[in-house]
Amino acid sequence: MSIRLLACITVATVFLLGCGGSDPAPSGDGGGGSDAGTSGTGGGSAGDSGTTCASDCDDGFNCTVDTCGSMGQCTHSIGPNTGATACPSGQYCTVDQGCIAAPACADDADCQKAFEGDACKSNVRCDPASSVCLFDILDKDHDGYPPPVCGGADCDDSDKDFHPGADENCDGKDQDCDGAPDGTPASDAWCESTAGTLFQCREGSCKCKPENLCNYNCTDTLIDPANCGACGHSCSGIEDCKNGVCECPPSTKRCGDSCWFIGSDFYNCGECGHVCPSGSACTSGSCICPDGKTACGQACVDTQSDAENCGTCGTKCDTGEVCEQGTCGCAKCGGTTCVDLQNDDSNCGTCGNSCAYGDCCSAGDCYGCPQG
């Protein structure tokens, strides 16, 4: 084993011991361009163990990705050779020095000799235009992130779905290489998108959230009338559960402890406690009497002829007056002149009510006629 390769492995071991668990970010103020396929080697470096990380763990190198670990350790790894972490043309990235100049070369043999024994560099070649050595960094899964042994942070270089910044699933694995398998909230979001909003990631699988597990059933307590707001809290009658609160459904009103359809309920017609008259029905919140009659109080009357409710409910005709066609006035009993219903033997009390022979009309009733 060459000294160069041994050094690479030793430094990479230090990097693995310092692997942290927060979101990675490129260091420095931004990176320059780089020749396609070029990058560097060398293991990740870590700060003092057990100390608090600096505000951003910035090592000052544009081409590295800096991370604050869960144990207060700063780690640095070589970032992808594109975008903000790319080195300028003719340079490649190292963890301990940042972007450095690539060796000069006359042919491929010069480059192969310069990087002899370095397994982290493949396709070593001499660029004829710039006369500098180019190479491809080891990246077996072709996800743009080298493994830790080559100064990167790809925790599984055999699977392109594992690398810094990858989407975290709920399977007990560490897709984003932050040292925390099934890290929240990413894994919880994955569960909600695949299993539903009632689930969260626990112990490597999507499980029902504790607040939604009612009697071994996973239910939404925001809308379940049998478990409204909390397990076991049941809504009554026709109540709906909305946002965890029992409410009367549309077109109903709470009267006492129950919800009633006030548009059609005989005992709560239009409003709570409004009982319709016998023989009528509640339609669209109003009591409707048969045969064109009108509901006045607890009775169905003909307002065209009812002297107690003449024309409208509560309009009472004066004594001796009758209600004809909804208007109070004297009784004519089919004639043209007024008739005294209180004393007319042929129309006693009402038109057409004729007293029997020998009886006389008095105060609207037929009595035996006085002698003499």
The model's pLDDT over 223-256, given as tens digits with 9 standing for 90+, comes to 999 999 999 999 988 899 999 999 999 889 989 8
Which pLDDT does position 71 carry in this prediction? 64
pLDDT tens readout for residues 95-147: 999 999 999 999 999 999 999 999 999 999 999 999 999 999 999 999 989 99
Q: Does pLDDT of 347 surpass 70?
A: yes
Query: d(Cα 127, Cα 265) in Å, to the nearest integer?
Result: 90
Which pLDDT does position 332 carry in this prediction? 81
CA quadruple 295, 300, 305, 306: dihedral, nearest 10: -90
Helix (H, G, I), strand (E, B) or coil at 134: strand
Which pLDDT does position 363 carry in this prediction? 85
Q: Does pLDDT of 337 surpass 80?
A: yes
Which pLDDT does position 5 carry in this prediction? 33
Cis peptide before 370 (omega within 30 of 0): no
Q: Which residues contact 277 (CB under 8 A, 6 or more apart)?
A: 287, 289, 295, 296, 297, 298, 299, 300
Which pLDDT does position 70 carry in this prediction? 60
* Residue of 310, 330, 309 whose CA lies nearest to 319: 330
Residue with tokens 């000069």, as numbered in its chain: 104
Which pLDDT does position 13 carry in this prediction? 34
Mean per-residue pLDDT for 300-315?
Answer: 92
- DSSP code for 12: H
- DSSP code for 253: E
Q: What are φ and ψ of residue 217, in 5° steps?
A: -115, 140
Query: d(Cα 321, Cα 364) in Å, to the nearest integer?
Result: 12
Q: Which of 172-186, 221-235, 328-342 has the highest mean pLDDT?
A: 221-235
Mean per-residue pLDDT for 15-24?
Answer: 37
368 vs 184: which has the higher pLDDT: 368
Which pLDDT does position 258 carry in this prediction? 86
Which pLDDT does position 11 carry in this prediction? 32
Mean per-residue pLDDT for 287-314?
Answer: 90
Q: Does pLDDT of 15 surpass 50?
A: no
pTM over 0.85: no
User: What is the pLDDT confidence band of residue 41, given thresholds at 50, 70 and 90?
Assistant: very low
Which pLDDT does position 39 carry in this prediction? 45
Q: Which residues contact 270 (CB under 8 A, 6 or more apart)?
A: 262, 263, 282, 285, 286
pLDDT tens readout for residues 44-102: 544 444 457 766 788 999 999 888 866 677 888 888 888 999 999 999 999 999 999 99
Query: d(Cα 98, Cα 29) in Å, to the nearest integer?
Result: 13
29-33, 109-113, 161-165: which range is least confident on average?
29-33
pLDDT tens readout for residues 20-29: 333 445 554 4
Which pLDDT does position 51 carry in this prediction? 52
- DSSP code for 15: H
User: What is the pLDDT confidence band of residue 190, given thresholds at 50, 70 and 90?
Assistant: very high
pLDDT tens readout for residues 195-217: 989 999 988 899 999 989 998 99
Query: d(Cα 207, Cα 200) in Å, to the nearest integer?
Result: 6
Say which amino acid occupies 111. Answer: C
53 vs 308: which has the higher pLDDT: 308
pLDDT tens readout for residues 316-331: 998 778 888 898 988 8
Q: Which residues contact 34 (CB under 8 A, 6 or more apart)?
A: 81, 82, 86, 87, 88, 89, 91, 92
Which pLDDT does position 14 carry in this prediction? 31
Q: What are φ and ψ of residue 322, in 5° steps?
A: -125, 165
Q: Does pLDDT of 6 surpass 60?
A: no
Helix (H, G, I), strand (E, B) or coil at 210: helix
Q: What are φ and ψ of residue 314, in 5° steps?
A: 90, -5
Q: Which residues contact 150 (CB under 8 A, 6 or more apart)?
A: 8, 12, 41, 42, 78, 120, 137, 138
